[in-house]
Structure 1
Amino acid sequence: MSTVADKLARKSTQRSSAKQVRLRLVYIDFWSAVKLSFLAAIAVAVVTVVSFVLIFFIVDLTGLIDRADEFFAGFSDGSFLLSQFVSLPQVLAFSAIVAILNLVVVTVLGAVMAGIYNLAVKVTGGLLVGFTSN
């Protein structure tokens, strides 16, 4: 009669056919990190512009801007209207500015992080990654 413990003992003595590889990440190429962070920043910039426009359309279609205009007209004699400041061209311009700033910041952060990692590797020895094939 065979128990689970016996089966596990037999398995541990048999040689596994899976190959194991351990690699150490000791250097990140600076320009590759900059290019990759730039591509990620472009994706985030596109998402930013699209989300700003979609939010504007939703707010405009629900009539929240008109209600806010009525609310502000109640105590400002109609001199301040939110619709003067929030229109599609202004939302597009603001979202483009935010996207461009985000693009620059994410690209620079990617470059800085690659530089920090390359400096930290000199102290820590790098990141050890193990791979197995099943």
Structure 2
Amino acid sequence: MSTVADKLAKKSSSKTSSKQVRLRLVYVDFWSAVKLSFLAAVALAIVTIVSVFLIFMVLQTTNLIGKLDEFFLAFTDGSFQLSAFLNLPQVMAFAAIVAILNLIVVTVLGAVVAGIYNLMVKVTGGLLVGFTSN
């Protein structure tokens, strides 16, 4: 009697010939590139906001902002306080603005790169990629 396990053992012991395929990338879909760059930009925006929040919390916990206030107090007449400008809502609003600008820039850059690649394929013939089956 032959079981499924025996059949799978026979299949795994036999050597398969590896075939190599060489493909040429001659077109990048514009909207796919825009969607992919947008998703990458969203991930970058989340990382930006979280990292700014964590850095601000570390600076606030270590009282570095207060020490910088004392440092600036030595050079000014006391009219400028850094802690008045660096509080959590203002820092997070700045981080959100930077994240939104990065979102727009990275999405547009993805579209531009896809367009430039599609134009350059006409000159160079595309990117040659080799695949093998193991």
TM normalised by structure 2 equals 0.86
Query: What is the distance in 1 between the residues matched to 2:77 and 2:113?
Result: 53
For 1:47, the equivalent position in structure 2 comes to 47
For 2:10, the equivalent position in structure 1 comes to none
- The one-letter code matched in structure 2 to 1:106 is V
For 1:75, the equivalent position in structure 2 comes to 75
For 1:29, the equivalent position in structure 2 comes to 29
Q: What is the identity percentage for the equivalent residue pairs of Structure 1 and Structure 2?
A: 75
Query: What is the distance in 2 between the residues matched to 1:21 and 1:73?
Result: 69
For 2:66, the equivalent position in structure 1 comes to 66
Q: Offset of 1:17 from its aligned partner?
A: 1.1
Q: Offset of 1:76 from its aligned partner?
A: 1.5
Query: What is the distance in 2 between the residues matched to 1:132 and 1:19?
Result: 6
Deviations 1:21-59 (A, max 9, x none): 111100000000000000000000000000001000001
SS at match of 2:129: strand
For 2:6, the equivalent position in structure 1 comes to none
Query: What is the distance in 1 between the residues matched to 2:38 and 2:50?
Result: 18
CA RMSD after TM alignment? 1.0
For 2:110, the equivalent position in structure 1 comes to 110
Q: Could you list the runs of 5+ residues in structure 2 that have no partner in the other structure?
A: 1-15
Q: Could you list the runs of 5+ residues in structure 1 that have no partner in the other structure?
A: 1-15
Count matched residues.
119
Query: What is the distance in 1 between the residues matched to 2:84 and 2:55?
Result: 17
Q: Spell out structure 1 runs of 4+ moving beyond 3 A.
A: none
- The one-letter code matched in structure 2 to 1:100 is I
